[in-house]
A = this chain, B = another copy of it.
Amino acid sequence: MSTLTNSPSVLEGVAPAEFGIGARITVAIAGDDGSELARAVLGAPADGLLVTADDVSIHVTGPEDRLLTYLVAILHAAGGSGRAVTAAVQLSRGCPGGVTCALPPGGAVFWSEVPRLAATGVRARAQWALYPLDDGGHGNADHMRDIYAVIEEGERRGTVREVRNYVTTLEGDLSEVFETVGAAWIVAGRSVQHVATHLTLWINAPSVPDGVRTALAVGDRR
């Protein structure tokens, strides 16, 4: 599903991993001794992906559609048990950070279609931040217009619940949450070389207990 484009510059024969297209995910399942997470991770479809793990997160690289499908499958299995699940997800492209990739100059981008993901029946609530880090001097107009279009579609579908300080709160089927986040990351990446996005996600329970929310008083921007 991923293809290359000659705008703003040609990038022939480059695979998603070489362009630094990948994700990290950390998942905690309430009451799990590790076996539930192992079942969820090892059962997720990893065809066409490179998956490794360290003692903080699982790292996966490959085409965006397979990568998003893989993340949703892990969380679908984890959340399908009915246990409370929390996850931190990072999507990245263009190799920002210490481990860089040899990208051609001129702000070359990797162009991909926005995938549709199969519904899971598992609802998630999440807070999401998107960082277009470097537009290679090509200006911001295109990627902001495209990101706004993604957010407007999310609002129409009810997935985009509210804008808060530093984040947007999303709610819906896991597939809808990851479609919105994935679409913004992909369309920003059509004109911006380095794009990172972070998602803090909760399934089956409020991440902040009602008692804490009452004691702290919920902000008035809801």
Question: Chain A residues in contact with chain B, CB under 8 A?
Answer: 20, 22, 24, 26-28, 30-31, 34-35, 37-38, 41-42, 51-59, 61, 84, 86, 88, 90, 92, 95-99, 125-127, 129, 131, 133, 163-169, 196, 198, 200, 202, 206-213, 215-219, 221-222
Contact = CB atoms under 8 A, between A and B. Distances in A.
Contacts of A61: 165
Contacts of A207: 26-28, 55-57
B57 A127 contact: yes
Q: Is the interface of A mostly helix, strand, loop or mixed?
A: mixed
A169 B28 CA distance: 18
A51 B164 CA distance: 14
A126 B165 contact: no
A143 to B, nearest CB: 13
14 contacts: A24-B165, A28-B84, A34-B209, A38-B215, A51-B216, A53-B208, A53-B216, A54-B213, A58-B216, A59-B164, A61-B165, A96-B131, A97-B129, A97-B165
A16 to B, nearest CB: 13
Greatest chain B CB density within 10 A among A99, A169, A221 is at A99
A55 B97 contact: no
A153 B32 CA distance: 37
A62 to B, nearest CB: 13
A125 B55 contact: yes
B57 A206 contact: no
Given A56-B200, A198-B198, A202-B56, A86 B28 contact: yes
A48 to B, nearest CB: 15
Contacts of A86: 26, 28, 86, 88
Contacts of A97: 129, 163, 165-168
Contacts of A22: 165-166
A166 B24 contact: yes
A160 B206 CA distance: 33
